[in-house]
Structure 1
Amino acid sequence: MTRPAVDDGERARAGSELAAVSRALYERGWMPGTAGNLSVRLPGGAALITASGRDKGDMTAADMVVVRADTGQEAAPGPLRASAETTIHSAIYRTTDAGAVVHVHSPYATAVACRTGHRTRLTSLRIERLELLKGLGLADPARTEVPVFPNWPEVPRIAADVADHLAATPHAPPALLITDHGITTWGHDLAQARNRLECLESICRLLLLTGSVPPAQGKEG
Protein backbone atom coordinates (compact mmCIF):
# COMPACT_ATOMS: atom_id res chain seq x y z
CA MET A 1 0.00 0.00 0.00
CA THR A 2 1.38 3.43 -0.96
CA ARG A 3 2.28 5.59 1.97
CA PRO A 4 1.04 9.18 1.82
CA ALA A 5 3.75 11.79 1.32
CA VAL A 6 3.65 14.59 3.88
CA ASP A 7 5.43 17.92 3.59
CA ASP A 8 7.56 18.57 6.67
CA GLY A 9 6.43 22.18 6.92
CA GLU A 10 2.78 21.24 6.72
CA ARG A 11 3.27 18.54 9.33
CA ALA A 12 4.98 20.97 11.70
CA ARG A 13 2.27 23.61 11.24
CA ALA A 14 -0.56 21.12 11.80
CA GLY A 15 1.26 19.53 14.74
CA SER A 16 1.67 22.88 16.47
CA GLU A 17 -2.03 23.64 15.99
CA LEU A 18 -3.06 20.25 17.37
CA ALA A 19 -0.78 20.68 20.38
CA ALA A 20 -2.15 24.16 21.14
CA VAL A 21 -5.78 23.01 20.98
CA SER A 22 -4.96 19.92 23.04
CA ARG A 23 -3.46 22.05 25.79
CA ALA A 24 -6.43 24.43 25.74
CA LEU A 25 -8.97 21.61 26.02
CA TYR A 26 -6.91 20.00 28.78
CA GLU A 27 -7.04 23.25 30.74
CA ARG A 28 -10.84 23.22 30.47
CA GLY A 29 -10.92 19.73 31.97
CA TRP A 30 -12.14 18.17 28.73
CA MET A 31 -9.01 16.06 28.02
CA PRO A 32 -7.88 14.89 31.47
CA GLY A 33 -4.60 13.01 31.65
CA THR A 34 -4.05 11.14 28.40
CA ALA A 35 -7.76 11.01 27.46
CA GLY A 36 -9.11 12.26 24.16
CA ASN A 37 -7.61 12.67 20.71
CA LEU A 38 -7.46 15.24 17.91
CA SER A 39 -6.59 14.99 14.24
CA VAL A 40 -6.40 17.04 11.06
CA ARG A 41 -6.53 15.91 7.46
CA LEU A 42 -3.38 16.61 5.45
CA PRO A 43 -2.90 16.83 1.67
CA GLY A 44 -2.20 13.60 -0.18
CA GLY A 45 -4.48 11.25 1.74
CA ALA A 46 -2.83 11.57 5.16
CA ALA A 47 -3.98 12.73 8.58
CA LEU A 48 -2.04 13.84 11.63
CA ILE A 49 -3.32 12.58 14.98
CA THR A 50 -2.28 12.87 18.61
CA ALA A 51 -0.14 10.02 19.85
CA SER A 52 -1.39 7.44 22.31
CA GLY A 53 -0.46 7.71 25.98
CA ARG A 54 0.69 11.34 25.94
CA ASP A 55 -0.46 13.86 28.54
CA LYS A 56 -2.78 16.22 26.68
CA GLY A 57 -1.69 19.22 28.74
CA ASP A 58 1.97 18.82 27.72
CA MET A 59 1.68 18.02 24.03
CA THR A 60 4.02 19.50 21.44
CA ALA A 61 4.17 19.24 17.66
CA ALA A 62 6.48 16.24 18.10
CA ASP A 63 3.73 14.23 19.83
CA MET A 64 1.80 13.50 16.62
CA VAL A 65 1.60 10.54 14.25
CA VAL A 66 0.98 10.53 10.50
CA VAL A 67 -1.65 7.99 9.40
CA ARG A 68 -3.65 7.24 6.30
CA ALA A 69 -6.82 9.31 6.52
CA ASP A 70 -9.01 6.56 5.06
CA THR A 71 -7.81 3.61 7.14
CA GLY A 72 -5.96 4.97 10.17
CA GLN A 73 -2.90 2.88 9.31
CA GLU A 74 0.34 4.50 10.48
CA ALA A 75 2.28 5.91 7.54
CA ALA A 76 5.68 4.76 8.78
CA PRO A 77 7.22 2.95 11.76
CA GLY A 78 8.25 5.22 14.62
CA PRO A 79 8.59 5.53 18.39
CA LEU A 80 5.04 6.83 18.83
CA ARG A 81 1.77 4.99 18.35
CA ALA A 82 -1.31 6.66 16.96
CA SER A 83 -4.28 7.11 19.28
CA ALA A 84 -6.19 3.92 20.03
CA GLU A 85 -9.29 5.57 18.53
CA THR A 86 -7.68 6.45 15.20
CA THR A 87 -10.09 4.16 13.34
CA ILE A 88 -13.03 6.35 14.45
CA HIS A 89 -11.29 9.39 12.97
CA SER A 90 -10.64 7.52 9.74
CA ALA A 91 -14.29 6.43 9.58
CA ILE A 92 -15.29 10.09 9.67
CA TYR A 93 -12.69 11.12 7.09
CA ARG A 94 -13.76 8.27 4.82
CA THR A 95 -17.46 9.18 4.86
CA THR A 96 -17.45 12.99 5.16
CA ASP A 97 -15.46 15.97 3.90
CA ALA A 98 -14.17 16.71 7.41
CA GLY A 99 -10.82 18.43 7.67
CA ALA A 100 -10.43 17.89 11.41
CA VAL A 101 -11.87 15.66 14.16
CA VAL A 102 -11.99 16.31 17.93
CA HIS A 103 -12.79 13.69 20.56
CA VAL A 104 -12.93 14.66 24.25
CA HIS A 105 -14.45 13.65 27.57
CA SER A 106 -16.17 16.94 28.38
CA PRO A 107 -18.40 16.43 31.44
CA TYR A 108 -21.86 17.45 30.27
CA ALA A 109 -21.75 15.63 26.93
CA THR A 110 -20.33 12.56 28.64
CA ALA A 111 -23.10 12.66 31.24
CA VAL A 112 -25.70 12.88 28.47
CA ALA A 113 -24.01 9.96 26.68
CA CYS A 114 -24.31 7.93 29.88
CA ARG A 115 -28.02 8.70 30.16
CA THR A 116 -29.07 8.28 26.55
CA GLY A 117 -26.77 5.53 25.34
CA HIS A 118 -27.25 1.76 25.22
CA ARG A 119 -24.64 -0.96 25.52
CA THR A 120 -25.63 -2.89 22.41
CA ARG A 121 -27.64 -0.68 20.05
CA LEU A 122 -27.58 2.74 18.48
CA THR A 123 -29.71 5.40 20.14
CA SER A 124 -30.00 9.15 19.56
CA LEU A 125 -30.25 12.44 21.39
CA ARG A 126 -33.00 14.66 19.99
CA ILE A 127 -32.32 18.39 20.35
CA GLU A 128 -34.84 21.08 19.43
CA ARG A 129 -35.23 24.87 19.49
CA LEU A 130 -32.01 25.80 21.26
CA GLU A 131 -30.22 28.75 19.64
CA LEU A 132 -26.86 27.02 19.96
CA LEU A 133 -27.92 24.51 17.31
CA LYS A 134 -26.95 27.17 14.76
CA GLY A 135 -23.34 26.57 15.73
CA LEU A 136 -23.43 23.05 14.30
CA GLY A 137 -23.90 24.15 10.69
CA LEU A 138 -27.10 22.17 10.22
CA ALA A 139 -29.37 22.38 7.19
CA ASP A 140 -32.25 22.81 9.67
CA PRO A 141 -30.93 24.61 12.76
CA ALA A 142 -34.24 24.13 14.61
CA ARG A 143 -33.65 20.48 15.44
CA THR A 144 -31.32 17.52 15.05
CA GLU A 145 -30.66 14.01 16.35
CA VAL A 146 -27.15 13.24 17.51
CA PRO A 147 -26.32 9.52 17.29
CA VAL A 148 -25.18 7.73 20.46
CA PHE A 149 -23.14 4.63 19.64
CA PRO A 150 -22.51 1.55 21.80
CA ASN A 151 -19.12 1.63 23.47
CA TRP A 152 -17.80 -1.69 22.19
CA PRO A 153 -14.50 -2.83 23.76
CA GLU A 154 -13.14 -3.27 20.23
CA VAL A 155 -12.65 0.27 18.88
CA PRO A 156 -12.73 -0.84 15.20
CA ARG A 157 -16.25 -2.09 15.85
CA ILE A 158 -17.29 1.39 17.01
CA ALA A 159 -15.59 2.81 13.92
CA ALA A 160 -17.52 0.42 11.66
CA ASP A 161 -20.80 1.49 13.27
CA VAL A 162 -19.87 5.15 12.77
CA ALA A 163 -18.92 4.62 9.11
CA ASP A 164 -22.14 2.71 8.37
CA HIS A 165 -24.28 5.37 10.04
CA LEU A 166 -22.61 8.31 8.31
CA ALA A 167 -22.74 6.61 4.92
CA ALA A 168 -26.47 5.98 5.38
CA THR A 169 -27.27 9.46 6.73
CA PRO A 170 -25.28 12.04 4.72
CA HIS A 171 -27.12 14.93 6.39
CA ALA A 172 -26.34 13.77 9.93
CA PRO A 173 -25.00 16.42 12.33
CA PRO A 174 -21.20 16.76 12.53
CA ALA A 175 -21.13 15.16 15.96
CA LEU A 176 -21.63 11.90 17.78
CA LEU A 177 -21.67 10.52 21.30
CA ILE A 178 -20.42 7.16 22.55
CA THR A 179 -22.20 5.54 25.49
CA ASP A 180 -20.43 6.13 28.82
CA HIS A 181 -17.54 7.62 26.89
CA GLY A 182 -17.56 11.09 25.37
CA ILE A 183 -18.18 13.34 22.40
CA THR A 184 -16.70 13.61 18.90
CA THR A 185 -17.18 16.54 16.53
CA TRP A 186 -15.70 17.50 13.18
CA GLY A 187 -15.48 20.42 10.77
CA HIS A 188 -13.66 21.75 7.76
CA ASP A 189 -10.76 22.73 10.04
CA LEU A 190 -9.72 22.35 13.66
CA ALA A 191 -11.21 25.70 14.68
CA GLN A 192 -14.64 24.76 13.37
CA ALA A 193 -14.50 21.29 14.95
CA ARG A 194 -13.63 22.89 18.28
CA ASN A 195 -16.40 25.48 17.97
CA ARG A 196 -18.93 22.73 17.29
CA LEU A 197 -17.64 20.85 20.31
CA GLU A 198 -18.15 23.91 22.49
CA CYS A 199 -21.69 24.42 21.18
CA LEU A 200 -22.73 20.81 21.76
CA GLU A 201 -21.13 20.68 25.22
CA SER A 202 -23.11 23.82 26.12
CA ILE A 203 -26.28 22.29 24.68
CA CYS A 204 -25.80 19.18 26.81
CA ARG A 205 -25.32 21.37 29.88
CA LEU A 206 -28.60 23.18 29.13
CA LEU A 207 -30.43 19.89 28.59
CA LEU A 208 -29.27 18.62 31.96
CA LEU A 209 -30.06 21.89 33.74
CA THR A 210 -33.59 21.97 32.31
CA GLY A 211 -34.26 18.28 32.94
CA SER A 212 -34.66 17.63 29.23
CA VAL A 213 -32.56 14.46 29.27
CA PRO A 214 -34.48 11.44 30.58
CA PRO A 215 -33.07 9.56 33.57
CA ALA A 216 -30.68 6.75 32.70
CA GLN A 217 -32.51 3.60 31.68
CA GLY A 218 -31.42 -0.03 31.80
CA LYS A 219 -28.82 -0.58 29.12
CA GLU A 220 -29.06 -4.32 28.69
CA GLY A 221 -31.28 -6.15 26.23
Structure 2
Amino acid sequence: MSESELRIQMVQFCKSLYERGYMAGGAGNVSVRVDGSTILATPTGSCLGRLVADELSLVDNSGMLISGKKPSKEVKFHLALYKDPSVHAVVHLHSTWTTRLSCIADIDTNEIIKPFTPYFVMKIDMIEMIPYYPPGDDRLAEALGKWAGKRNAFLLQNHGPVITGSSLEVAMDLMEEFEETAKLVYLLKDEKVRYLSENEIDYLRNKEKQNNKRSQQWP
Protein backbone atom coordinates (compact mmCIF):
# COMPACT_ATOMS: atom_id res chain seq x y z
CA MET A 1 0.00 0.00 0.00
CA SER A 2 1.34 3.43 -0.92
CA GLU A 3 1.96 6.23 1.57
CA SER A 4 -1.02 8.20 0.29
CA GLU A 5 -3.28 5.16 0.64
CA LEU A 6 -2.02 4.55 4.20
CA ARG A 7 -2.78 8.18 5.08
CA ILE A 8 -6.36 7.83 3.88
CA GLN A 9 -6.76 4.47 5.64
CA MET A 10 -5.48 5.86 8.95
CA VAL A 11 -7.87 8.81 8.82
CA GLN A 12 -10.84 6.54 8.02
CA PHE A 13 -10.07 3.93 10.68
CA CYS A 14 -9.39 6.48 13.41
CA LYS A 15 -12.58 8.37 12.57
CA SER A 16 -14.57 5.14 12.80
CA LEU A 17 -13.16 4.34 16.25
CA TYR A 18 -13.80 7.89 17.45
CA GLU A 19 -17.40 7.92 16.23
CA ARG A 20 -18.05 4.62 18.03
CA GLY A 21 -16.75 5.95 21.33
CA TYR A 22 -13.38 4.22 21.60
CA MET A 23 -11.71 7.50 22.58
CA ALA A 24 -12.55 11.12 23.33
CA GLY A 25 -10.91 14.48 22.69
CA GLY A 26 -7.22 14.26 21.88
CA ALA A 27 -6.68 10.90 23.59
CA GLY A 28 -4.76 8.06 21.95
CA ASN A 29 -2.29 7.78 19.11
CA VAL A 30 -1.82 5.54 16.08
CA SER A 31 1.03 4.79 13.70
CA VAL A 32 1.71 2.64 10.66
CA ARG A 33 4.91 1.55 8.96
CA VAL A 34 5.30 3.03 5.46
CA ASP A 35 8.54 1.27 4.59
CA GLY A 36 11.75 0.17 6.27
CA SER A 37 12.76 3.69 7.22
CA THR A 38 9.59 5.77 7.70
CA ILE A 39 6.48 5.69 9.86
CA LEU A 40 3.24 7.67 9.72
CA ALA A 41 1.95 8.78 13.12
CA THR A 42 -0.87 10.89 14.49
CA PRO A 43 0.20 14.45 15.41
CA THR A 44 0.52 15.63 19.00
CA GLY A 45 -2.75 16.68 20.60
CA SER A 46 -4.79 15.63 17.59
CA CYS A 47 -8.32 14.29 17.85
CA LEU A 48 -8.44 10.88 16.16
CA GLY A 49 -11.89 11.71 14.83
CA ARG A 50 -10.70 14.83 13.00
CA LEU A 51 -7.39 13.85 11.41
CA VAL A 52 -6.30 15.36 8.10
CA ALA A 53 -4.36 13.00 5.82
CA ASP A 54 -1.80 15.58 4.68
CA GLU A 55 -1.10 16.69 8.26
CA LEU A 56 -0.12 13.25 9.58
CA SER A 57 3.42 13.11 10.94
CA LEU A 58 5.96 11.28 8.78
CA VAL A 59 9.00 10.35 10.88
CA ASP A 60 12.12 8.26 10.42
CA ASN A 61 13.17 5.36 12.64
CA SER A 62 14.76 7.74 15.14
CA GLY A 63 11.58 9.82 15.45
CA MET A 64 12.88 12.79 13.45
CA LEU A 65 10.09 14.63 11.68
CA ILE A 66 10.25 14.47 7.87
CA SER A 67 6.94 16.11 7.02
CA GLY A 68 3.58 17.02 8.50
CA LYS A 69 2.79 18.20 12.01
CA LYS A 70 4.82 17.42 15.13
CA PRO A 71 4.15 13.79 16.16
CA SER A 72 2.69 12.67 19.45
CA LYS A 73 5.25 12.56 22.27
CA GLU A 74 4.36 8.90 22.63
CA VAL A 75 5.72 8.06 19.17
CA LYS A 76 8.87 7.01 21.07
CA PHE A 77 7.23 3.86 22.35
CA HIS A 78 5.74 3.16 18.91
CA LEU A 79 9.27 3.24 17.48
CA ALA A 80 10.45 0.82 20.17
CA LEU A 81 7.78 -1.68 19.10
CA TYR A 82 8.77 -1.31 15.42
CA LYS A 83 12.10 -2.94 16.26
CA ASP A 84 10.21 -6.14 15.52
CA PRO A 85 10.02 -6.28 11.69
CA SER A 86 6.68 -8.11 11.80
CA VAL A 87 5.03 -5.06 13.41
CA HIS A 88 3.47 -2.78 10.80
CA ALA A 89 1.03 -0.82 12.95
CA VAL A 90 0.66 0.32 16.56
CA VAL A 91 -2.61 1.47 18.13
CA HIS A 92 -2.84 3.10 21.57
CA LEU A 93 -6.22 4.20 22.90
CA HIS A 94 -7.68 5.39 26.19
CA SER A 95 -10.77 3.25 25.58
CA THR A 96 -13.04 2.85 28.60
CA TRP A 97 -12.96 -0.83 29.50
CA THR A 98 -9.32 -1.62 28.84
CA THR A 99 -8.26 1.58 30.60
CA ARG A 100 -10.40 0.61 33.56
CA LEU A 101 -8.64 -2.75 33.59
CA SER A 102 -5.26 -0.97 33.63
CA CYS A 103 -6.22 0.90 36.82
CA ILE A 104 -6.98 -2.16 39.01
CA ALA A 105 -4.49 -2.13 41.88
CA ASP A 106 -4.16 -5.85 42.68
CA ILE A 107 -4.70 -7.36 39.23
CA ASP A 108 -2.96 -10.65 38.47
CA THR A 109 -0.36 -9.49 35.93
CA ASN A 110 0.34 -13.12 34.97
CA GLU A 111 -3.25 -13.54 33.79
CA ILE A 112 -4.83 -10.13 33.29
CA ILE A 113 -7.80 -11.68 31.49
CA LYS A 114 -8.58 -15.32 32.23
CA PRO A 115 -9.63 -16.80 28.85
CA PHE A 116 -13.35 -17.36 28.38
CA THR A 117 -13.79 -16.88 24.62
CA PRO A 118 -11.90 -18.65 21.81
CA TYR A 119 -11.25 -15.51 19.76
CA PHE A 120 -9.52 -13.81 22.66
CA VAL A 121 -7.06 -16.73 22.85
CA MET A 122 -6.50 -16.87 19.10
CA LYS A 123 -6.12 -13.14 18.55
CA ILE A 124 -4.86 -11.61 21.80
CA ASP A 125 -3.92 -14.39 24.24
CA MET A 126 -1.15 -13.06 26.53
CA ILE A 127 -1.27 -9.45 27.75
CA GLU A 128 1.78 -7.73 29.23
CA MET A 129 1.26 -5.15 31.95
CA ILE A 130 3.73 -2.28 31.63
CA PRO A 131 4.48 -0.42 34.90
CA TYR A 132 3.25 3.15 35.17
CA TYR A 133 5.43 5.89 33.71
CA PRO A 134 4.29 9.39 32.72
CA PRO A 135 3.14 9.75 29.09
CA GLY A 136 6.11 10.31 26.79
CA ASP A 137 8.63 9.07 29.37
CA ASP A 138 11.64 7.30 27.83
CA ARG A 139 11.19 4.44 30.32
CA LEU A 140 7.86 3.62 28.73
CA ALA A 141 9.57 3.05 25.38
CA GLU A 142 12.27 0.96 27.05
CA ALA A 143 9.73 -1.22 28.83
CA LEU A 144 7.66 -1.84 25.68
CA GLY A 145 10.74 -2.37 23.52
CA LYS A 146 11.75 -5.36 25.66
CA TRP A 147 8.55 -7.10 24.58
CA ALA A 148 8.68 -6.25 20.86
CA GLY A 149 7.92 -9.43 18.96
CA LYS A 150 6.96 -11.35 22.11
CA ARG A 151 3.50 -9.87 22.73
CA ASN A 152 0.95 -8.03 20.61
CA ALA A 153 -1.17 -6.73 23.47
CA PHE A 154 -0.15 -4.49 26.36
CA LEU A 155 -1.75 -2.54 29.18
CA LEU A 156 0.03 0.59 30.29
CA GLN A 157 -0.69 0.81 34.01
CA ASN A 158 -3.19 3.61 34.82
CA HIS A 159 -3.04 4.64 31.18
CA GLY A 160 -4.60 2.30 28.61
CA PRO A 161 -4.11 -0.39 25.97
CA VAL A 162 -1.53 -0.79 23.20
CA ILE A 163 -1.87 -3.22 20.31
CA THR A 164 0.53 -4.12 17.50
CA GLY A 165 -0.44 -5.74 14.22
CA SER A 166 0.82 -6.92 10.85
CA SER A 167 -1.22 -4.12 9.26
CA LEU A 168 -3.27 -1.15 10.40
CA GLU A 169 -6.48 -3.07 9.71
CA VAL A 170 -5.31 -6.05 11.80
CA ALA A 171 -4.21 -3.81 14.68
CA MET A 172 -7.53 -1.97 14.70
CA ASP A 173 -9.48 -5.25 14.73
CA LEU A 174 -7.34 -6.60 17.57
CA MET A 175 -7.89 -3.42 19.59
CA GLU A 176 -11.65 -3.81 19.22
CA GLU A 177 -11.39 -7.45 20.34
CA PHE A 178 -9.32 -6.38 23.36
CA GLU A 179 -11.76 -3.63 24.35
CA GLU A 180 -14.87 -5.78 23.96
CA THR A 181 -13.32 -8.63 25.95
CA ALA A 182 -12.42 -6.23 28.77
CA LYS A 183 -16.03 -5.00 28.71
CA LEU A 184 -17.27 -8.57 29.05
CA VAL A 185 -14.98 -9.09 32.06
CA TYR A 186 -16.99 -6.45 33.93
CA LEU A 187 -20.38 -7.48 32.57
CA LEU A 188 -19.72 -11.03 33.82
CA LYS A 189 -18.13 -10.13 37.17
CA ASP A 190 -21.19 -11.20 39.20
CA GLU A 191 -21.86 -14.28 37.09
CA LYS A 192 -20.57 -17.84 37.35
CA VAL A 193 -18.28 -17.86 34.30
CA ARG A 194 -17.28 -20.98 32.40
CA TYR A 195 -13.61 -20.37 31.67
CA LEU A 196 -11.82 -22.29 28.93
CA SER A 197 -9.87 -25.32 30.13
CA GLU A 198 -6.10 -25.67 29.61
CA ASN A 199 -6.73 -28.32 26.93
CA GLU A 200 -9.16 -26.02 25.12
CA ILE A 201 -6.69 -23.13 25.29
CA ASP A 202 -3.80 -25.28 24.03
CA TYR A 203 -5.93 -26.48 21.11
CA LEU A 204 -6.76 -22.90 20.10
CA ARG A 205 -3.13 -21.78 20.37
CA ASN A 206 -1.91 -24.69 18.24
CA LYS A 207 -4.64 -24.07 15.67
CA GLU A 208 -3.67 -20.42 15.41
CA LYS A 209 0.02 -21.34 14.97
CA GLN A 210 -0.90 -23.71 12.14
CA ASN A 211 -3.04 -21.04 10.47
CA ASN A 212 -0.16 -18.56 10.69
CA LYS A 213 2.27 -21.04 9.13
CA ARG A 214 -0.11 -21.74 6.25
CA SER A 215 -0.63 -18.03 5.59
CA GLN A 216 3.14 -17.47 5.47
CA GLN A 217 3.53 -20.19 2.85
CA TRP A 218 1.27 -18.43 0.36
CA PRO A 219 3.06 -16.05 -2.03
Match of 1:165 among 131, 147, 150: 147
2:133 matched residue in structure 1: 152
TM-score when normalising by structure 2: 0.77
1:95 & 1:201 partners in 2: Cα distance?
24
Matched, 1:67 2:59: yes
Q: Offset of 1:117 from its aligned partner?
A: 7.3
Tell me the amino acid that sits aligned with residue 145 of structure 2.
A
| 1:180–1:199 distance in 2 versus 1, CA, 3 Å | same
CA shift, 1:116, in A, is: 5.2
SS in 1 for 2:27: coil
Task: Find runs of 4+ consecutive structure 1 residues off by over 6 angstroms.
Answer: none
Could you tell me how far apart the structure 2 residues matched to 1:161 and 1:151 are?
A: 10
**Structure 1 residues 99, 133: closer, same or farther in 2, change over 3 A?**
same
Partner of 1:185: 163
The answer as to whether partners of 1:123 and 1:149 remain within 8 angstroms in 2 is no
Structure 1 residue 41: Cα displacement: 0.4
Cross-structure match for 1:132: 119
Counterparts of 1:15-164 in structure 2 under 5 Å? 15-69=7-61, 71=62, 73-76=63-66, 80-115=69-104, 123-124=109-110, 125-136=112-123, 144-153=125-134, 154-164=136-146
* Cα deviation, residue 100, structure 1: 0.9
Change (3 A) 1:84 1:113: same
Alpha-carbon distance between aligned partners in 1 of 2:176 and 2:95, rounded to the nearest angstrom: 9
Percent of matched pairs sharing the same residue: 26
Q: Distance in 2 between matches of 1:96 and 1:28?
A: 31
Secondary structure of the structure 1 residue equivalent to 2:49: helix
The CA deviation at 1:74 is: 2.1
Contact 1:116 1:148 in 2 (8 A): no
Per-residue CA deviation, residues 168-211 of structure 1 (Å, 9 max, x unaligned), is: xx443x11011111111111111100111111111111111222
Give yes or no for the alignment of 1:196 onto 2:185: no
CA spacing shift, 1:79–1:47, aligned 2, 3 Å: closer
C-alpha distance after superposition, 1:145-166 (max 9, x if no partner): 3111122125221110111233
Taking structure 1 as reference, are residues 28 and 44 closer, same or farther at Cα in structure 2, changes over 3 Å only?
same
Query: Would you say the 8 A contact 2:102–2:158 is kept in 1?
Result: yes
> What's the secondary structure of 1:44's corresponding residue?
coil
| Cα pair 1:135 1:195 within 8 Å, conserved | no
1:116–1:123: 8 Å Cα contact kept in structure 2? no
Output the TM-score relative to the length of structure 1: 0.76
